[in-house]
Amino acid sequence: MRTEGVVSTWGNSQAVRIPKIMLENIGLNANDKIEISMTENSITIRPSKTKRKRKTLAERFAGYTGDYQPEELNTGMPVGSEIL
């Protein structure tokens, strides 16, 4: 598959839009990690070899001991429109 595009400015960097069908064909989705390599006159983009596995809720709470106690934070006296 082949397409043409435009290099656009995105903040202090440049960006290229990649058609969704191209990403799907190589198994990429938005926000996936990629590897970018450069040779003398070309740039190659491929899925990162180190895919980050998303943790389940059970995995996220695995080390939780249940001893967290919330406390109020003293930010000082009211000084402006935060008083209701």
Instruction: Quote the CA–CA distance of 47 and 33 in Å, as a whole number.
Output: 6
- CATH numbers and ranges of domains, the chain: 8-49 (2.10.260.10)
Of 21, 15, 49, the closest CA to residue 33 belongs to 49
- pLDDT (mean) for 73-82: 81
| All residues at 6 or more sequence positions from 47 whose CB lies less than 8 Å from its CB, including other chains | 26, 27, 28, 32, 33, 34, 35
Question: What is the tens place of the pLDDT at every residue in 8-50?
Answer: 999 999 999 999 899 888 888 888 889 999 999 999 988 888 7
**Location of structure tokens 């008083």:** 83
Query: DSSP letter string over 9-20?
Result: EETTEEE----H
